[in-house]
């Protein structure tokens, strides 16, 4: 791979251009970083932001958690989902605000991947389920920065995707010679994400190359493929990636179990109203 052109690098990786985290979000993250906080302190701060509260409640009420009654309190939601998914929601919110206009559907795709990754992580008895769900929520965050920092090249990427019928990832390689997994990993580094989240983002398209968290990265990779396969994807990025061979081996999933998993995942996704628009589109 030829080196990334200096001006692309400069515009993309200029740290001053990285979206800043709003003051309130920063306060919440600092409180969580300190480790010594009460549930009331945390939920009171989150409740001050309607968008954050809405996303936390949406996640806890998603079919993945399989709760019998609806949770309406942020405090109760935090107890149920744990602090890491909350952290992921906070960190992603400021970037996804930009994403909504530039990459419609990316939030739904990421949220769906997070729910499916949580299900798979549970199924594979993984211990870091919260971190895996957070990484899944953020796995395509690099696409958002590319859209924001390189609007002209992004338009070129979209055109190439359409005219050649290739994936966004391949078009990124052609046009800017850097891909969103690498950009996402850079953001993860700048925002001091834990290594597991950084690695999953960096290797979500090639989990077989991930040294420390290969199974975790393969889970998010598989979720990405399943979610795209059923049509929950950003409007410009509908190509379903091929499964990474080594990643598949690392998962060690018997093929007959895959069919069971797929049907359970489909049940979960069908039960979530936010995804119905994508599913009905696929059926049309």
Q: Which residues bind Fe ion (CB under 5 A)?
A: 140, 224
Q: How far apart are CA 133 and CA 92, in angstroms?
A: 12
- Between 49 and 224, CB nearer to Fe ion: 224
| DSSP code, position 242 | P
Q: How far is the CB of 79 from Fe ion (least distance, A)?
A: 29
The nearer residue to Fe ion, 43 or 134, going by C-beta atoms, is 134
Query: In Å, how far from its chain's centre is CA 181?
Result: 11
Output the smallest distance, CB 163 to Fe ion, in A: 21
Distance CA 59, CA 176 (A): 35
Q: How far is the CB of 16 from Fe ion (least distance, A)?
A: 26
Query: Is the CB of 158 or the CB of 224 nearer to Fe ion?
Result: 224
Residue with tokens 């489909």: 266
Give the integer Cα–Cα distance in Å for 14 and 179: 16
Report, in Å, the least distance between residue 69 CB and Fe ion: 32
- How far is the C-alpha of 183 from the C-alpha of 185, rounded, in Å? 5
Considering beta carbons, is residue 108 or 140 the nearer one to Fe ion? 140
- The count of residues in the chain is 284
In whole angstroms, give the CA distance from residue 118 to residue 65.
9
Shortest Å, Cβ 234 to Fe ion: 8
Helix (H, G, I), strand (E, B) or coil at 209: helix
DSSP 189: H
């Amino acid at each position: 791979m030829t080196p990334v052109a200096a001006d692309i690098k400069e515009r993309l990786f200029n740290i001053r251009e990285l979206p800043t985290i709003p003051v309130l979000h920063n306060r919440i993250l600092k409180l969580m970083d300190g480790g010594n906080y009460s549930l009331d302190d945390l939920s009171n701060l989150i409740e001050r932001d309607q968008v954050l509260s809405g996303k936390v409640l949406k996640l806890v009420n998603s079919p993945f958690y399989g709760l019998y009654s609806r949770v309406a309190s942020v405090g109760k939601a935090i107890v149920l989902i744990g602090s890491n998914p909350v952290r992921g929601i906070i960190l992603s919110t400021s970037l996804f605000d930009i994403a909504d206009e530039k990459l419609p559907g990316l939030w739904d795709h990421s949220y769906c991947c997070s729910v499916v990754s949580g299900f798979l992580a549970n199924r594979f008895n993984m211990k870091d389920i919260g971190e895996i769900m957070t990484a899944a929520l953020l796995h395509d965050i690099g696409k958002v920065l590319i859209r924001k920092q390189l609007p002209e090249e992004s338009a070129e990427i979209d055109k190439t995707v359409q005219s050649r019928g290739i994936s966004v990832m391949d078009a990124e390689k052609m046009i800017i010679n850097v891909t969103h997994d690498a950009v996402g990993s850079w953001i993860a580094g700048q925002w001091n994400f834990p290594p597991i989240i950084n690695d999953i983002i960096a290797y979500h398209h090639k989990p077989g190359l991930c040294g420390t968290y290969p199974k975790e990265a393969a889970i998010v990779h598989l979720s990405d493929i399943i979610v795209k396969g059923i049509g929950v994807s950003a409007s410009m990025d509908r190509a379903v990636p091929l499964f990474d061979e080594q990643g598949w081996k690392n998962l060690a999933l018997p093929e007959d179990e895959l069919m069971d998993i797929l049907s359970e995942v489909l049940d979960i996704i069908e039960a979530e109203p936010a995804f119905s628009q994508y599913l009905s589109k696929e059926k049309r």
